[in-house]
Amino acid sequence: MREGGRPSSTDELILGSEGGLECPAGDFVIDPWQETRTALITHAHADHARPVAQIYYASESSVPLLKHRLGEELDIRGVRFGEPISLGATRVSFHPAGHVLGSAQIRVQRDDDVWVFSGDFKRDNDPSCEAFELVTCNTFITEATFALPIYRWQPGDVVAADIARWWQDMQSAGRPAVLFAYSLGKAQRVLSELCAYTDKAVYLHGAVIALTEIYRNAGVRLLPTLPVDLADRKRNYAGELIIAPPGASGSAWMRRFPNASTGFCSGWMRVRGNRRRRGYERGFVLSDHADWPGLLDTIRQTGANRILTTHGQSTTLVRLLREQGLDAAELRTPYTDEVEPDAGI
């Protein structure tokens, strides 16, 4: 049985399995988490991209990120957005998902049957990555990370203005401003959004540096950046903005920033208790996932007559869609909100 009570069938174009989202007709697996021959990868976050395949297909702009995270020696073949390729009895194409640089929805077609796996996606404007492209289909497989009505986002430039004001306040107070943000995607979005408010350099934790340079090499406009100097213990970072992965919070690395004001950048900051429990002074609600209206609008706009959900608040979303008369079910996967494999560096 498929998760959610729906019988599985080899007639299905994409099947949920222990190894990933399998497409028997194309002889490939999407975002696999077990060894396989051919993988199609939606994006470079560690819960979607693993070194388990012999051949990888991904969007062209995600290839440098994948090679950095998975290994330069891997056979990763870049495909232009919208360019169809033939795999077995299927035609496959990659389309921008708006999540992070190179993130893709994967469209799979066999005869007249069209499925789209969204991977992780967002609908908001983001100057650091390709904008989401709506792809119509018969079956839409969607994430449900923030599938609750409380999760509604302000535009990124509004949040960036709030970060800029906090930074300015810390300059006036003579305190470092340490902003925790996921090293792939969120950190670079902040650096790009802040270009509208300043040209001042930002200091980066080591885990963020190489990924940021990949974005810069891709032509994304970012603030100038400098590395946090691990050797210079006397360096004074008062008034500076420092971006680090969440795993650095509470670590010995933070001793370089006495009297620092700390902030966390995430959609989870929409719930104020999350900020208090994690011990941050400031919480900035900036997400790389679709909010509640974005999820519902996208599902409707795809024209799909069947919806399958992956990670997040899947149970809530499936229940609502069924109440609306849609054919909906849940696919259990190991995908998460974000994964930071190098957070402790």
pLDDT digits (tens, 9 = 90+) for 225-240: 999 988 888 889 999 9
Q: What pLDDT score does 277 carry?
A: 63
Tell me which CATH homologous superfamily contains domain 15-150+289-330. Ribonuclease Z/Hydroxyacylglutathione hydrolase-like (3.60.15.10)
**Better-scored residue on pLDDT, 333 or 240:** 240
Q: Which two tokens stand for residue 27?
A: 């002889």
Phi–psi pair at 307, nearest 5 degrees: -125, 130
Q: Which two tokens stand for residue 184?
A: 């792939």
- Given a cut of 90, whether residue 303 has pLDDT beyond it is yes
The chain-wide mean pLDDT, for the chain, equals: 92
Q: What pLDDT score does 336 carry?
A: 62
Measured between alpha carbons, how far is 78 from 98 in angstroms, rounded to an integer?
18
* Strand order, beta sheet including 282-284: 225-227, 202-204, 241-244, 177-180, 261-265, 282-284
Residue 252 carries which side chain, given as an amino acid letter? A
DSSP-derived letter for residue 200 is -
Give pLDDT tens digits for 158-208.
Answer: 999 999 999 999 999 999 999 999 999 999 999 999 999 999 999 999 999
CB-neighbour burial class of residue 56 (10 A; exposed 0-12, middle 13-18, buried 19+): buried
Q: What pLDDT score does 341 carry?
A: 41
Q: Which two tokens stand for residue 109?
A: 């077609």
Q: What pLDDT score does 10 carry?
A: 52
Residue 336 carries which side chain, given as an amino acid letter? T
Q: What pLDDT score does 276 carry?
A: 67
Q: What pLDDT score does 312 carry?
A: 83
Instruction: Give the confidence band of 282 by pLDDT, cuts at 50, 70, 90.
Output: very high
- Please state the domain extents for the chain: 15-150+289-330, 156-284
Residues paired with residue 58 on neighbouring β-strands, in sequence order: 78
Instruction: Give the confidence band of 249 by pLDDT, cuts at 50, 70, 90.
Output: very high
CB-neighbour burial class of residue 182 (10 A; exposed 0-12, middle 13-18, buried 19+): buried
Give pLDDT tens digits for 32-71.
Answer: 999 999 999 999 999 999 999 999 999 999 999 999 999 9
Residues paired with residue 265 on neighbouring β-strands, in sequence order: 284
Tell me the longest C-alpha to C-alpha distance in the chain.
66
- Given a cut of 80, whether residue 18 has pLDDT beyond it is no
Q: What pLDDT score does 5 carry?
A: 37
Measured between alpha carbons, how far is 268 from 271 in angstroms, rounded to an integer?
6
Residues paired with residue 157 on neighbouring β-strands, in sequence order: none
What pTM was computed for the model?
Answer: 0.92
Name the 3-class secondary structure at 179. Answer: strand
Q: What pLDDT score does 339 carry?
A: 44
Q: Identify which of 11-15, 213-217, 310-314 has the greatest average pLDDT.
A: 213-217
Handedness of CA 175, 181, 187, 192 (dihedral sign): negative
| Topology of the domain comprising 156-284 | Rossmann fold (3.40.50)
Instruction: Give the confidence band of 11 by pLDDT, cuts at 50, 70, 90.
Output: confident
Measured between alpha carbons, how far is 29 from 191 in angstroms, rounded to an integer?
34
Nearest Cα residue to 90 out of 24, 137, 35, 141: 24
- What does the pLDDT average to over 249-273? 91
Q: What pLDDT score does 271 carry?
A: 86
Q: What pLDDT score does 185 carry?
A: 97
Q: What pLDDT score does 6 carry?
A: 42
Q: What pLDDT score does 311 carry?
A: 80
Q: Which two tokens stand for residue 200?
A: 């001042």
Q: What pLDDT score does 15 carry?
A: 86
- Given a cut of 80, whether residue 275 has pLDDT beyond it is no
- What does the pLDDT average to over 267-293? 87
Q: What pLDDT score does 239 carry?
A: 97
> In 10 A of CB 139, how many CB atoms?
20
- What does the pLDDT average to over 304-327? 93
